[in-house]
A = this chain, B = another copy of it.
């Protein structure tokens, strides 16, 4: 059943008022706010119907109305007007995209901070879908006769290093041989392929080399695993406390703990394919999020990876504004790191 134009207008007015005030909205407020030329009594009649449709709720008889989860859902799907970013907002996001870019990882972390600061909600960010991440190259650097640095670079040009110390000593030549071996045997391999290949090689290797290879490979495995595990970054968790719905510590604590302990995307209902996903209240599967809404934007990084950035807040969120900010950021990211030539060219401007 399609809602009448007036009902829609009323629903929208209720939601937009409630987003601002965080307090139940009464019929009188609607009359003033939405420019409908009817009396409050008429609004009341309409509101009763909206309530029976499950779009509005009454906290108790004789309080104003509050949007229900499906009310928000309808608003998000149909009623929401696109929000235009202010110049300032766009600039902040641009800064985050440009500044401090050493690795993609950092852009994401930085972006989380900026967006969280802008919105006053906690943000999370992660990469996903990079099951096909592989090793592009190894470099081994001799530091002392019994210590060397491994530099591992992935096909997505993320670089990780580790200092490895040995009980035995090591010559430059030995290290070079090892280096060549690693680069010929292990480059291009994904996490799945890494260990079998290691086993194959190990069978042939002499005792000493064996140990060395093992050390490097296990570090490599660790790196790939870390990157594949979609490490989740969060920012601005304490912002929750400034929201009226979390003035009560009992409400805020479980959610804040949940967010602090986020580390794996398995804990988040990350969307596959959709560019923008909004989960309202009980639509969330995760217990801790059932009283909150989650808005997240997905963007491409190269051909096989995706990034996700999202915010968590009370169901009473300014969906329009948040969606605009997130998608602006996501578009920027897609432009910079998007499909095609992978990786992008993070201009190494000196900061």
- A-side interface residues toward B, CB under 8 Å? 102-103, 137, 139, 141, 143, 149, 151, 153, 157, 159, 161-166, 214-215, 218-219, 222, 236-238, 241-242, 246-249, 252-253, 256-257, 260, 345-348, 350-351
How far does the Cβ of A314 sit from chain B's closest Cβ, in whole Å? Answer: 14
How many angstroms between the C-alpha atoms of A179 and B148 in the bound complex? Answer: 18
How far does the Cβ of A10 sit from chain B's closest Cβ, in whole Å? Answer: 33
- When C-beta atoms are compared, the residue in chain B nearest to A146 turns out to be B345
Q: Do the beta carbons of A153 and B164 come within 8 Å of each other?
A: no
Residues of B within 8 A of A246 (CB): 249
Q: Do the beta carbons of B237 and A241 come within 8 Å of each other?
A: no
Residues of B within 8 A of A166 (CB): 348
Q: Do the beta carbons of B161 and A161 come within 8 Å of each other?
A: yes
Q: Do the beta carbons of B238 and A249 come within 8 Å of each other?
A: no
Q: Do the beta carbons of B161 and A151 come within 8 Å of each other?
A: yes
How far does the Cβ of A264 sit from chain B's closest Cβ, in whole Å? Answer: 16
How many angstroms between the C-alpha atoms of A222 and B99 in the bound complex? Answer: 13
Q: Do the beta carbons of B242 and A253 come within 8 Å of each other?
A: yes
Q: Do the beta carbons of B162 and A153 come within 8 Å of each other?
A: no
Q: Do the beta carbons of B253 and A165 come within 8 Å of each other?
A: no
- When C-beta atoms are compared, the residue in chain B nearest to A158 turns out to be B163
Residues of B within 8 A of A257 (CB): 238
Q: Give the one of A163, A247, A348 with max B CB within 10 A.
A: A348
How many angstroms between the C-alpha atoms of A351 and B162 in the bound complex? Answer: 13
Per a CB cutoff under 8 Å, which of B238, B242, B347 touches A165? Answer: B347
- When C-beta atoms are compared, the residue in chain B nearest to A222 turns out to be B351
* 6 cross-chain pairs, A with B, having the tightest CB-CB distances, nearest first: A218-B350, A164-B348, A238-B256, A241-B253, A159-B161, A139-B141
How many angstroms between the C-alpha atoms of A257 and B116 in the bound complex? Answer: 13
Q: Do the beta carbons of B345 and A103 come within 8 Å of each other?
A: no
How many angstroms between the C-alpha atoms of A219 and B348 in the bound complex? Answer: 9
- When C-beta atoms are compared, the residue in chain B nearest to A214 turns out to be B350
How far does the Cβ of A135 sit from chain B's closest Cβ, in whole Å? Answer: 13
CB<8 Å pairs between A and B, sample of 29: A102-B163, A103-B163, A137-B143, A139-B139, A139-B141, A143-B153, A143-B157, A149-B153, A149-B159, A151-B151, A159-B162, A163-B346, A165-B347, A165-B348, A166-B348, A214-B350, A218-B350, A218-B351, A219-B350, A222-B351, A237-B238, A237-B260, A238-B256, A238-B257, A238-B260, A241-B252, A241-B253, A247-B249, A248-B249
Q: Do the beta carbons of B159 and A215 come within 8 Å of each other?
A: no
Besides A149-B151, A151-B151, A157-B163, 16 new A-B residue pairs in contact (Cβ under 8 A), listed by A number: A139-B141, A139-B151, A141-B151, A143-B153, A151-B161, A159-B161, A159-B162, A165-B348, A215-B348, A218-B350, A219-B348, A238-B257, A241-B252, A241-B256, A246-B249, A249-B249
Per a CB cutoff under 8 Å, which of B163, B236, B351 touches A159? Answer: B163
How many angstroms between the C-alpha atoms of A218 and B143 in the bound complex? Answer: 23
How many angstroms between the C-alpha atoms of A292 and B238 in the bound complex? Answer: 18
Residues of B within 8 A of A163 (CB): 102-103, 157, 159, 346, 348
How many angstroms between the C-alpha atoms of A217 and B248 in the bound complex? Answer: 50
How many angstroms between the C-alpha atoms of A143 and B137 in the bound complex? Answer: 9
How far does the Cβ of A115 sit from chain B's closest Cβ, in whole Å? Answer: 15
Q: Do the beta carbons of A102 and B153 come within 8 Å of each other?
A: no
